[in-house]
Chain A
Amino acid sequence: QQQVKQSPQSLIVQKGGIPIINCAYENTAFDYFPWYQQFPGKGPALLIAIRPDVSEKKEGRFTISFNKSAKQFSLHIMDSQPGDSATYFCAASGASGSARQLTFGSGTQLTVLP
């Protein structure tokens, strides 16, 4: 019940394309859903996050869509650039107890071709 399932495992798009990464969760105690970006040799960097009271959040070229009833959320990267090539992780956490730590998806390796 603690799992967060992420797909696809890898994704290749052309510059300017809109890669979409999807995540699904089971634990209804989760109420915070961040996305992290990780470059080789670096730690994950917080990109954008959403709570279940909104269905969409945009920050620059990054958009999270959230479907509470389906327990799914996704990351869209508008006008993708080669510099966006990285591994992206979705995560989820809740307010208390064992849900409070971040539970991560398995990651998506994104390659944006020039």
Chain B
Amino acid sequence: KAGVTQTPRYLIKTRGQQVTLSCSPISGHRSVSWYQQTPGQGLQFLFEYFSETQRNKGNFPGRFSGRQFSNSRSEMNVSTLELGDSALYLCASSLDMGVTEAFFGQGTRLTVV
């Protein structure tokens, strides 16, 4: 059974640009959550999607957004990139909303220059 797949693995963007990251959850999993990992702030929750609806949102500015498609695949978008957005963005897949076991992908390393 394939794991969580995130694309691309690495990305370099310039300040002010926008970026879209993609996540394909484990087959059969319907809940997708996104986390940002930085050396200074650690792992922080961005948002959770289930049945194409955002169910929960962390404390991030509106520049961070996401969506989920009918096949449970998810994308997150960051607009007007800032240097501080440089981070490892991780997607976690769970079988269902309220099911607590979460499995992470390898992440997308975003560097903003």
Contact = CB atoms under 8 A, between A and B. Distances in A.
B56 A98 contact: yes
B24 interface: no
A46 B102 CA distance: 7
B101 to A, nearest CB: 7
Contact of B107 (A43, A97, A98, A104): A43
Nearest to B46: A101
A72 interface: no
A45 B105 CA distance: 9
Interface in B25-65: 33, 35, 42-45, 48, 55-56, 58
A61 interface: no
A93 B101 contact: no
Q: Which has the most chain B C-beta neighbours within 10 Å: A32, A101, A104, A106?
A: A101
Contact of B105 (A36, A43, A103): A43
Contacts of B105: 43
Nearest to A101: B45
A111 B103 CA distance: 24
Contacts of B48: 100-101
Contacts of A42: 106-107
Nearest to B101: A46
A44 B100 CA distance: 15
A89 interface: yes
A64 to B, nearest CB: 14
Nearest to B97: A100
Contact of A100 (B4, B35, B56, B106): B56
Nearest to B88: A43
21 contacts: A41-B106, A42-B106, A42-B107, A43-B107, A44-B104, A45-B104, A46-B104, A91-B43, A100-B48, A100-B55, A100-B98, A101-B45, A101-B56, A101-B58, A102-B33, A102-B35, A102-B43, A102-B45, A103-B45, A104-B43, A107-B43
Interface of A: 32, 34, 36, 41-46, 49, 89, 91, 93, 95-98, 100-107
